[in-house]
Amino acid sequence: MGFQGYSRPDGSAGVRNYVVVMSSVACANGVVQAIGRELPEVKPIIHTEGCGRGLKDIAISTRTLAGLGKNPNVAAILVVGLGCEFIKAAGLADQIQATGKPVEFLVIQEQGGSRKTARLGIEIAGKMLAQANKLKRQEFGWDKLCVGLECGGSDAMSGVSANPMVGKAADWLVAQGATVILSETTEMIGTEKILAARCPSPEVAKRLFALIQEQEKQTKVLLGPLAGLVISPGNIEGGLSSIQEKSLGCIIKGGTSPVQEVIEYAAAPSQKGLVIMDTPGSDIYSLTGMAAAGAQLMIFTTGRGTPAGFPIAPVIKVASNSQLFERMNDDMDLNAGKILEGASLEEAGKELVEFVQQVANGELVKAEINRQDILSIHTVEPAF
Amino acid sequence: MESKVNVVVINPKDNVAVALVEIKAGEPLVGVAGKELTAKEDIRRNHKVALAEIPAGGRIIKYGESIGAASRAIEPGQWVHTHNLKSEDR
């Protein structure tokens, strides 16, 4: 048995059924928000990108925004542009249209200002909502599900309870034919040999090896004398004895399946099973990249506690310890802390799988109830 | 009365466990399936304790993978950290 989702024209399945209004450039954010205020059912997507960046960043932002529009959780989308920006609303709409879902776009300079554009946008999005609300959930196999994994605000127990619990669920999902994305290249430093040995294809192994080594070099440049906090020798005071031990504690949330593919930030996987995405370790950038790759649902472990969610995908929060689960219960969905009190890892993994199914079927997670709709697009060069 | 779990073994292949509380020398390790072990020295919270004999140069296994090599022979119940674990490659 799989999950109850929303059928999309490209054959994919949404676990949510959102009408999205998205800006193609930061300058259109005000209009997107105005539409969102008028139609609270709509999911507004605003961001800081779309113009004033070099070619590398324009490519990343375009891939990210188009990918978010293509995400199966999006039933229909209205893209709002300004007119003179690099990333045009028409171009994004065109890319998203390849999925066959309803797509429209508006350009503020062409419509004659923000109020006129917002008025028209409210009309278009209102019609999209009426159409989307007619859709009913139907049965899909797990092969239609893509799950993104994340850890943030970690503590000493994240690698002992929560991440191994997620790893059990990840192995189960992969065995059922689902796609699981492991992200955060920084957290893989030191484990390149271990991960490369798990790649069935030598090309994938080579790419992964190079990616992690490059990340280590970059981390040293970016953090200078502070790089030791991320790279070896681990957290000596906290009992971690080597960089391998520290990084294994992070990557264990991907389970033990073969690594089928290594993908760029926000790029859609072409393989089922476990795939690795090159993302920053910073949570929000990483969540955005995985959602843009098509992840309909995300699992996020935390030891110190973070409320972060995502506008168009449920983010399941797994607390690494019972104290956090109780203290920040408003934000936590599941408690891995019970593993530290004698519960078996297998049982905890099963509990997570069951919750994933409930959430895929429509049960709201805490981040959705709290409307923790946060999004950041990764950039690699300065703005100009 | 059953005592409270004080260590966690993450993978059945592991030859170390993680201490969940401060464990004093002589205290039993509770949470290791099929083995009766005692701490040979004080183990700090979140630190590792050996579950098997690990010869000098032998692999220290956690998460089912090598996290380093033993820089000297380690006995079951001993504390495992940078004083007797050598990280590879770095």
- Check whether A302 has a pLDDT greater than 50: yes
Assigned domain for A11 exists:
no
pLDDT, tens digit, 9 for 90 and up, residues A129-171: 999 999 999 999 999 999 999 999 888 899 999 999 999 999 9
- Is A245 part of the contact surface with chain B (CB cutoff 8 Å)? yes
What is the domain-level CATH number for residue A53? 3.40.50.2300
What is the structure's pLDDT at A297?
A: 98
Q: In B, which residues are within 8 Å of A228 by CB distance?
A: none
Residue in B with minimal Cα distance to A231: B90
Q: How much is the average pLDDT of A270-290?
A: 96
Assigned domain for A295 exists:
yes
Residue in B with minimal Cα distance to A161: B10
| One domain for residues A150 and A91 | no
- Check whether A238 has a pLDDT greater than 90: no
Reported in sequence order, the residue ranges of A82-152 that DSSP labels E, i.e. its strands, are 103-107, 138-140, 146-151
| One domain for residues A201 and A158 | yes
Calculate how close chain B gets to A194, using CA atoms only, in Å: 8
Would the CB atoms of A239 and B63 count as touching at under 8 Å?
Answer: no
Q: What percent of chain A is modeled with pLDDT above 70?
A: 98
Q: Tell me what ipTM this predicted complex has.
A: 0.95
Q: Which of A77, A76, A72, A64 is nearest to A179 (CA)?
A: A72
Q: Which of A147, A191, A187, A154 is nearest to A169 (CA)?
A: A147
What is the domain-level CATH number for residue B35? 2.30.130.110
pLDDT, tens digit, 9 for 90 and up, residues A239-257: 889 889 999 999 999 999 9
Calculate how close chain B gets to A43, using CA atoms only, in Å: 40
Contact B20, B49 (CB under 8 A): no
What is the structure's pLDDT at B35?
A: 85
What is the structure's pLDDT at B37?
A: 96
- Is A345 part of the contact surface with chain B (CB cutoff 8 Å)? yes
| One domain for residues A171 and A257 | yes
Q: How many domains does chain A have?
A: 2
Which candidate in B8, B16, B23 is best for mutational testing of the A interface (most A CBs within 10 A)?
B8
Which candidate in B63, B66, B83 is best for mutational testing of the A interface (most A CBs within 10 A)?
B63
Q: pTM, whole model, 2 decimals? A: 0.96
Residue B1 pLDDT class (50, 70, 90 cuts): very low
Across A3-17, A112-126, A187-201, B37-51, least confident range? A187-201
Measure CB to CB from residue B67 to each of A245, A342, A345 and give the nearest one: A245
Across A211-225, A311-325, B6-20, least confident range? A211-225
Q: What percent of chain A is modeled with pLDDT above 90?
A: 89
Would the CB atoms of A245 and B64 count as touching at under 8 Å?
Answer: no
- The tokens describing A179, both together, are 């796609």
Residue in A with minimal Cα distance to B30: A342
| One domain for residues A101 and A43 | yes
Q: Which domain holds residue A39?
A: 18-132
- Is A194 part of the contact surface with chain B (CB cutoff 8 Å)? yes
Contact A153, A306 (CB under 8 A): yes
**CA distance readout (Å), A288 to A107, A119, A323:** 24, 29, 29
pLDDT, tens digit, 9 for 90 and up, residues A325-369: 999 999 999 999 999 999 999 999 999 999 999 999 999 999 999
| One domain for residues A270 and A292 | yes
What is the structure's pLDDT at A305?
A: 95
Residue in A with minimal Cα distance to B68: A242
Q: How many domains does chain B have?
A: 1
